[in-house]
A and B are shown apart, each in its own frame.
Chain A
Amino acid sequence: DAGVTQSPTHLIKTRGQQVTLRCSPKSGHDTVSWYQQALGQGPQFIFQYYEEEERQRGNFPDRFSGHQFPNYSSELNVNALLLGDSALYLCASSLGTGGEQFFGPGTRLTVL
């Protein structure tokens, strides 16, 4: 039974570029949440997808957008990258919007 997987593991971009991160949920899960974890900080909630729609959103600008596919996998897109977007991006999946969340290993994004 595969857990939550994320790709790529690491990514380096320059300011102004766009990036897409990918997440496959744990088998049987239908809900995906994304978190941003800056160095030395706790994860911060970005948004949650369920039934291919954004259901909840944290305090992040519109540059951050996402998508969920019919197979429950999800993408996080960030446009016009800023240096401050450098962080570990975590994906968590759950069964339903109220279920226990299981985290993936994250994607380390570095913006130069």
Chain B
Amino acid sequence: GENVGLHLPTLSVQEGDNSIINCAYSNSASDYFIWYKQESGKGPQFIIDIRSNMDKRQGQRVTVLLNKTVKHLSLQIAATQPGDSAVYFCAEIDVLSTGANNLFFGTGTRLTVIP
């Protein structure tokens, strides 16, 4: 679970457009995935999660898609706003094997929203 990575380190979008942030993971035993948002000077903030027995989960303006076949995770943000500008991390947990909620993070994608 230590090799969670991201395809793009930076992403710039126009305000109002949709954003898609991608993430690849390597531990097929991971059973729980979380997207975090981290603003400058703050700790990571939970956005949305998904369990490995699901392929899609929707929240308020956000959707997470999980493709276990190719070990790929994505975060979609609808109608992106300036307040969405931050670094986004995906993280995975292998609860069943470890019995713990240790998070394994990727490097992160910096999302910049252009007004």
Chain A interface residues (CB < 8 Å from chain B):
4, 33, 35, 40-45, 48, 55-56, 58-59, 90, 92, 94, 97-106
Complex: chain B residue closest to A99, CB-CB:
B101
Q: 17 extra interchain contacts, Cβ-Cβ under 8 A, other than A43-B105, A48-B100, A90-B43?
A: A33-B101, A33-B103, A35-B103, A42-B91, A42-B105, A42-B107, A56-B98, A56-B100, A58-B102, A92-B103, A94-B101, A97-B99, A97-B100, A98-B95, A98-B100, A101-B103, A103-B44
Chain B interface residues (CB < 8 Å from chain A):
2, 4, 41-46, 49, 89, 91, 95, 98-108
Q: What is the total of A-B residue contacts with beta carbons within 8 Å?
A: 60
Complex: chain A residue closest to B108, CB-CB:
A42
Per DSSP, chain A at the interface is loop
A-chain residues with CB within 8 Å of residue B108 when the two chains form the complex: 40-42
Query: A21: shortest Cβ distance to chain B, in Å?
Result: 13
Per DSSP, chain B at the interface is loop
A79 and B18 alpha carbons, distance in the complex (Å): 46
B-chain residues with CB within 8 Å of residue A55 when the two chains form the complex: 100
B-chain residues with CB within 8 Å of residue A58 when the two chains form the complex: 102
A41 and B106 alpha carbons, distance in the complex (Å): 8
Complex: chain B residue closest to A45, CB-CB:
B102
A-chain residues with CB within 8 Å of residue B101 when the two chains form the complex: 33, 94, 97-101
A55 and B43 alpha carbons, distance in the complex (Å): 23
Complex: chain A residue closest to B4, CB-CB:
A42
